[in-house]
Amino acid sequence: MFSKFSIVISSLLLISLVGCGQQKSETIQKAMQYKELTAEEQRVILQKGTEKPFSGKYEKFDEKGTYSCKRCGASLYRSDDKFDAHCGWPSFDDEIKGAVTRTTDADGRRTEITCANCGAHLGHVFLGEGLTEKDTRHCVNSISLEFVPAGSKSKTDTAIFAGGCFWGVEYYLQKSKGVFTVESGYIGGRKDKPTYQEVCSGKTGHLEAVEVVFDPALTDFETLARLFFEIHDPTQADGQGPDRGEQYRSAVFYRTEQQKQITEKLIMLLKGKGYKVVTQLLPATHFWKAEEYHQDYYEHKGSTPYCHGYTKRF
């Protein structure tokens, strides 16, 4: 007969072994999703090597699009942030939010940059050179990158949120990890190509909203939806903060059944916490991009939102 103690120990050992097996299986499965690399790609991407200067295919390259990780496909850089540093390697003065991890080299002299999703070695980042206004240079190996031309189908997803003045919603969502672009615009109304003045009149039925394009390898719809419910007041029915009117209503425009179900779940969670949520859940219709002066409003103005702020609710 086994003692109760030995049975407990045996059970714990079995659970531990099963858990380790599952973890190993998940690790292998994830690794199998990565692109098969050539010997030279492995030398740079996995063994942290460096390609020869002026030899990479993206060093002198100026097409519009996105640069993704050669190993896992996660979006890393936009072509708008690329510049010629005359250093022999592709250079960028900014990265897609949350896409790149910085780690100080063992010698303490340089800062390595790697893909935040899979850890692939990209190159190094340098500050204080005065080459661009952002004073930053991501010096990246071409062999670590894969270029996706503008307009091509890439690994992105889209979410549409309305929560008062689109300036404030845009301000917070575009700072979230994995977000590629956030555009302010109008949705849910009865008129094609509405203007700001027409929407403000309240006669078109449109809401001010933002269209968020994000990288599913770095974030997901639920993460962004949770943030949306925490950067505006989902219990205010007549607008948001001092901005009143139907164009400032709170709403999530779902694009898939999954987005609908996730939003319903989050609303139920908030109601369970005592919040009287009035956020509407509506099927997405055509999203009309707002006038250019509305895009990146607070960034250009150099200020912060006056009617939006972060409040932890989940």
Residue ranges of E strands in 110-191: 111-115, 121-127, 136-140, 145-149, 157-163, 179-187
Q: How are beta strands 250-254 and 280-283 bridged, if at all? A: parallel
Q: How far, CA to CA in Å, does 282 sit from each of 120, 211, 224?
A: 40, 14, 17
Token pair 């670590």: residue: 144
Helix (H) or strand (E) holding 200: helix 196-200
Cα dihedral sign, 87-89-90-96: negative
CB atoms within 10 A of CB 98: 18
Instruction: Determine contact, residues 215/99, Cβ cutoff 8 Å.
Output: yes
Q: Considering only CA atoms, which of 115, 139, 135, 114 is closest in space to residue 125? A: 139
Q: Quick one: how far is CA 47 from the chain centroid? A: 27
Catalytic residues: 139, 165
**CA 86/CA 83 separation, integer angstroms:** 9
Instruction: Determine contact, residues 82/92, Cβ cutoff 8 Å.
Output: yes
